[in-house]
Every structure is written in structure tokens, then in C-alpha cells.
Amino acid sequence: MGLTRRIIPCLDIKDGRVVKGTNFVGLRDAGDPVELASRYNQQGADEVVFLDITASKEKRSMIIDVIQRAADELFLPLTVGGGIRTIDDIQKTLRAGADKISINTSAVENPNLISEAANSFGTQCIVVAVDVKRRTEDSIDKTRIPLQDGNSCWYEVVTHGGSKPTGIDAIKWAMEAETRGAGEILLTSMETDGTKEGFDIPITAAISDNVGIPVIASGGVGTMEHFYDGFVYGKADAALAASVFHYGEMTVTQVKEYLTKKGIPIRPPGK
């Protein structure tokens, strides 16, 4: 694990605006992406993620414009995901000013894309996003994980915003992504996303234990304690959150001050 843990606001972008919903429904407008990202920059965020949630081809030029504006105004690493399907898409996104790209559905459908991208642009640019759901049914070739309630389950990789099951074991997929050249894993549990009940600790810890690359925990932050739990019990290298930051429930600065007091190694705000 890296020495300092990272706090990463995530901005879901639709039609050039930041939106936020629960489980991808009930979307509310949360502002201009570059203005919001600039606020997080001032608060001491370590990185920002832009996620193009409509991700259709006709919107591609719009997100490129947003990336260029952000790159001109911000002084922190920018990761961009959503609808990136080809090496050409990756090249255009990086050229526009992104520091990293995040691939999810396209990586599952074409795992060679991870290898090709890592070879072309370097592993440090390639984030593989892994969306997962709990499955309780028995399956011989799946990795079962004990849960806090005494039961156990395995975690399935899902694509298309959590709507499409793949049958793929999440831990094995994260390990394969690392082997193919992923520089980081961005893990979102559909069980906890939007619930504000905390990260899905069992799968976060299990993937952290099984890969040697950084794991970004995502989905479920509601309190500052949830960040602490993600780092200590989930063994994550970074923690990503959206609505708690967008709607002013807490600032990145406050989270960092809290974590510093709790003994978590954090890059101080403003450094």
C-alpha cells in the first residue's frame, strides 16, 4: 500500500453537468463540473474523477471539452471514465488533459484492451473500474467471502452501470486486470452505492489482499468514519465519494483533518 491515503471526489457528468442519484436513478443537477472540481482542488483533494454517465458517442465531444477546461484550470490529477472503448478513445481523452482513464464495461468485454492500453500509455494511466454485486448461491469456482452477519457470499462483476451480470468472480477479475497491466482498481459495490451506510468492507479488503496495485474504495460514504473504515478495515489505498461532497455535507478538508487525528497518513490540505 502507498504511504499516504488519497481522498478523491467523483463527478458524474451528464450533458456537461454534474448529476447525482441513488443507484443511477433520481438524478439531480449538482453544478458545473469544472467549478466543482476547482472547489475540491482548493479543499485539498488528491485527485478528481470525471465519469461520463451517458457515455454515448455523440456526447464524447462534450466531455472532451470539459476535460480541456478542467486541465487548464486545475492542478491535481484527473481521471476520466465512461464510454471509453478503444485505444483511440483513450488517446483522445489523455490528449485532452486527463492524467488517467478508467475503463469498465469495455475491459470486461475485451480484456486485451487493458494490455494494449498499458503497453501504449503506461500502467500508471490505466484504471480498471470494477462494479460488483453480492451473490449468495453456491458456485464451485467462485471465491466466497465471510460477511459481518456470519453468512458468506461471492461477488459478481456487473457491467452497464450495474445492470448486466457477467458471471465473473470479482476477485479473480481484479487479479487478471492487474496481470494485464491495470495500474489501479476502482471498486464500487452496488450493494452500498448511494446508501450512505459505508463502503462494502468485505470485498474491498479481499481485493486489496489479492492485488499488489492500489485499490480505490467507492460506493456508500455517509460519514467521516466511513473513510476511516475503508482505509483501516477495507485496506484501501484511496477513497472516492460524490454526494457528501457535492451537497456540502462535508468538505475534503474536514475529512482530511478527521483522518489525520485518527492517525491515517494523509497528504494535508493545501500541500
Query: pLDDT digit string (tens) for 27-42?
Result: 677 788 999 999 999 9
* Structural domain contains residue 266: no
DSSP tag of 234: S
* Structural domain contains residue 269: no
* Structural domain contains residue 153: yes
* Structural domain contains residue 271: no
* Structural domain contains residue 173: yes
* Structural domain contains residue 268: no
The residue among 172 and 194 whose pLDDT is bigger is 172
The residue among 75 and 88 whose pLDDT is bigger is 88
Residue of 52, 89, 131, 169 marked catalytic: 131
Of 1, 2, 5, the residue nearest 267 (C-alpha)? 5
Specify the pLDDT at position 1: 42
- At 123-180, the pLDDT tens digits run 999 999 999 999 988 878 899 999 888 899 999 999 987 889 999 999 999 999 999 9
Grid cell 456540502 is found at: 248
Asked about 169 being catalytic, the answer comes back as no
Size of the chain, expressed as the number of residues it contains: 271
Grid cell 469498465 is found at: 104
Specify the pLDDT at position 29: 73
- 58 pLDDT tier (thresholds 50, 70, 90): low
Please report, for the domain that includes residue 212, its CATH number: 3.20.20.70
pLDDT at 104 over 90: yes
Asked about 131 being catalytic, the answer comes back as yes
Residue of 12, 89, 193, 229 marked catalytic: 12
pLDDT at 52 over 50: yes
pLDDT at 185 over 60: yes
Specify the pLDDT at position 3: 79
Q: How far is the C-alpha of 5 from the C-alpha of 182, rounded, in Å?
A: 19
pLDDT at 265 over 60: yes
* Structural domain contains residue 267: no
The domain total for the chain is 1
Of 172, 173, 230, the residue nearest 201 (C-alpha)? 230
215 to each of 139, 202, 206, 240, how far by Cα in Å?
Answer: 26, 13, 11, 10
Residue 211's domain comprises: 6-261
Q: What is the mean pLDDT of residues 205-214?
A: 98
Specify the pLDDT at position 187: 98
